[in-house]
Amino acid sequence: MHPWVGAGPEDRRHILSELGLKSIDELFASIPAGVCVDGLDLPPARDEDWIRHTLGEMASANVAMDSIPCFLGAGVYRHVQPSIVDAVLSRAEFFTSYTPYQPEISQGTLQVIFEFQTLISRLTGLDTANASLYDGATALVEAALFSHRVLRGKRDLVVVAETIHPMYRQVLDTYAEAAGIEVAVVAPGDDGRLDPDKVRRTAGDRACCVAVQSPNFLGIVEDLPQLAAAAHDGGALAVEVVTEAVSLGLLAGGGSFGFDVVCGEAQSFGVAPGFGGPHLGFFACASKHLRQMPGRLAGETVDEDGNRAFCLTLSTREQHIRRAKATSNICTNQGLMALAATVWLEAIGGSGLRELATSCLARTEELKRRVTAVGDPWRLAYPQSPTFNEFLLVGPGSGTELVERLASEGVLAGVPTTDWGGSWPDGVLVAVTERNPATDLDALVSTLEKLS
């Protein structure tokens, strides 16, 4: 007997006798003997205390980000976490429910999705957004395939900036060959920013999309208006990838500059770092391309009495209706994380988000100033380029060595670029958020001085 199995031995006997059976084995008689086993070689059941203790020990074998000054970013950021986010997520009405296919008893989830779509739409500057994708990396893949479809499969080239998160590009490479697309990479200039002319030349007239990230992998803000024009000149769609969604509190989303798709990772909006998942992929596009959009959508309608109600809509794009001709195979998405982002954004508020993003910017500028003041052998890789809340720091050694040396002094200084390749210097990507008080900056700067 186990508390998570609803029927005990006596219940089972009663039901078996109602079914006219002697043993539960009879219910499995249709399984051929050749594939059967009698039980599994797994440990016995454990009580809650054992579980708490054992998993607690595994958790303690890790170093939580909150326990030391931490400047890790590179696609996963630590921002304020209002306690109400987890309180809402912990409501069984949200976390134990299924995809809202029965709208009459799912208005809560549906309205949340509708609000999420609206928030993402307003932040990206595009008029539609879906109800989530797996993560930022797969959102880039979906954007490439979306562009391929929008241009009717006539253009197989996808142009991506080298300064898109290298992991996102690796994931795109995994899917590209099977999807029949070719990927061309454009390196940044000496200032870490893309040269629109170089983008234009690479895309020529055979690209279905040009994808750029801003702020890019190096933390640098790109010239979005010029890049949108460079993509459109050759007839390609312009795709903006965002890995630090909080930047949208201060920087206008690509939609405002003519980008056709803005997609990426919204983990920054109230989702725990969680060793990389579950996070929150998002995808926004212009409504004229709505029918090519992947993933679920909630729409507004009315009930039989004419009252406002919401339901999932345009499911004719999706796998359960369209099967082999669906826009994507995605079914289960990151719904609960979309709820987290919605609660987080609504709690922080419009002005609050701007204030929060400005706080990240101010702290980053202060740290850049102080690192520059430390001087040799430490320097900013791109001192002249505008950044939001992340920058590349170069020092006496490879990024990996530097991170290890700084970690041994009790500071998690950032993410080494050593193993990612790329045309930029080998250094440390340092991310600063509103969670890094001045004392964190002091700790990092004094450690840099010590290692000078």
Partner 1 sequence: MKRRAIRSEPLFFERNSRRVRRQGYLLPALDVPEVKPSEVLPPELVREPDPHFPDVSEMEVVQHFHRLSQLNYAVDEGLYPLGSCTMKYNPRINEETARFPGFASLHPLQPQSQIQGALGLIWELEESLKTITGMPGATLQPAAGAHGELTGILMIRKALEARGEKREVVLAPDSAHGTNPATATFAGFSAQEIPSADDGTVDLGALDRMMDETVAALMLTVPNTLGVFEHQILEIADLVHSRGGFIYMDGANLNSFVGRALPGLMGADAMHINLHKTFSTPHGGGGPGAGPVTVSEALLPHLPVPKVIRGEDGFELQWEDPASIGQMRGFYGNFLILVRALTYIWSLGAEGLRSMSDVAVLYANLIRHRLNGAYHLKFDAPSLHEVVFDDSIQARHKVHNVDIAKRLLDYGFHPPTMSFPLIVHGALMIEPAESVAPDEVEAFCDAMLAIAKEAESDPELVKSAPHDTPVGRVDEVRAARYLKVTWTPEETE
Looking only at residues 153 through 182 of this chain, which bind partner 1 when binding is defined by CB under 8 A?
A: 165, 167-168, 170-171, 173-175, 177-180
Per the CB < 8 A criterion, the answer to whether 216 and 388 are in contact is: no
> Please, which residue, 57 or 376, has the CB nearer to partner 1?
57
Q: Count Cβ atoms within 10 A of the Cβ of residue 17 and give its class: 0-12 exposed, 13-18 middle, 19 or more buried.
A: exposed
Angle at 363 between CA 358 and CA 367, to 5 degrees: 150
Rank residues 143 and 145 by Cβ distance to partner 1 and give the closer one.
Answer: 145
Q: Under the criterion CB under 8 A, does residue 411 sit at the interface with partner 1?
A: no
Least distance (Å) from partner 1 to the CB of residue 399? Answer: 11
Q: Return d(Cα 407, Cα 233) in angstroms, integer.
A: 47
Q: Please select the residue that binds partner 1; options are 58, 152, 154, 384, rule is CB under 8 A.
A: 58
Q: CB count, 10 Å around CB of 391?
A: 29
CA distance 197 to 218: 20
Span interacting with partner 1, options 196-204, 231-239, 374-382, 401-409, rule CB under 8 A: 401-409
Site for partner 1 (CB under 8 A): which residue of 22, 201, 288, 354? 354
Measured distance CA(231)–CA(49) in Å, rounded: 58
- Residues between 191 and 210 that touch partner 1 (CB under 8 A): none
Q: Does 365 bind partner 1 (CB under 8 A)?
A: yes
C-alpha to C-alpha distance for 236 and 334, rounded to whole angstroms: 29
Q: How far is the CB of 8 from partner 1 (least distance, A)?
A: 9
- Among residue numbers 61 through 80, which ones bind partner 1 (CB under 8 A)? 61-67, 70, 72, 74-76, 78, 80
269 to each of 232, 256, 342, how far by Cα in Å? 31, 21, 8
Enumerate residues 422-451 that contact partner 1 by CB under 8 A: 434-435, 437-438, 441
Q: Which of 396, 404, 449, 450 binds partner 1 (CB under 8 A)?
A: 404
Taking the least distance from each CB to partner 1, the nearer of 234 and 440 is: 440
Print the binding letters for residues 115-144 with partner 1: x by CB under 8 A, - otherwise: x-xxx-xx----xxx-xx-xxxxx------
Say how far apart CA 146 and CA 121 lie, in whole Å: 18
Q: Compute CA 217 distance to the chain's CA centroid, rounded to the nearest angstrom.
A: 14
Around 66, how many Cα atoms within 13 Å sit in the side-chain half-sphere? 8
Looking at residues 250 to 289 of the shown chain, list those that interact with partner 1 (rule: CB under 8 A): 250-253, 256, 265, 272-279, 287
Nearer to partner 1, 190 or 205 (CB): 190
The torsion angles phi and psi of 252, rounded to 5 degrees, stand at -65, 140
| 376 contributes a contact to partner 1 by CB under 8 A | no
> To the nearest whole angstrom, how small is the minimum distance from the Cβ of residue 451 to partner 1?
16
Note whether 350 binds partner 1 by CB under 8 A.
Answer: yes
Question: What DSSP string describes 282-294?
Answer: EEEE-GGGGGG--
Sign (positive or negative) of CA dihedral 134, 283, 95, 349: positive
CB 233 → partner 1: shortest distance, Å? 19
**Which x/- pattern, by CB under 8 A, does the window 7-46 give for partner 1?**
x---xx-xxx-xx----x--xxxxxx-xxxx-xxxxxxxx
- CA–CA gap between residue 206 and residue 198 (Å, rounded): 15
In whole angstroms, what is the distance from residue 30 CA to residue 225 CA?
64
Residues 205-244 that bind partner 1 (CB under 8 A): 221, 223-225
Taking the least distance from each CB to partner 1, the nearer of 98 and 197 is 98
Question: What whole-number distance in Å separates Cα of residue 158 and Cα of residue 388?
Answer: 27
| Nearest-angstrom CA–CA distance, 125 and 353 | 16
Least separation, in Å, of the C-beta of 425 and partner 1? 18
User: Footprint of partner 1 on residues 80-119 (CB under 8 A)?
Assistant: 80, 82, 84, 86-88, 90-100, 102-109, 111-115, 117-119
Of 308-347, which residues contact partner 1 (CB under 8 A)? Answer: 308-314, 316, 318-326, 328-339, 342-343, 346-347
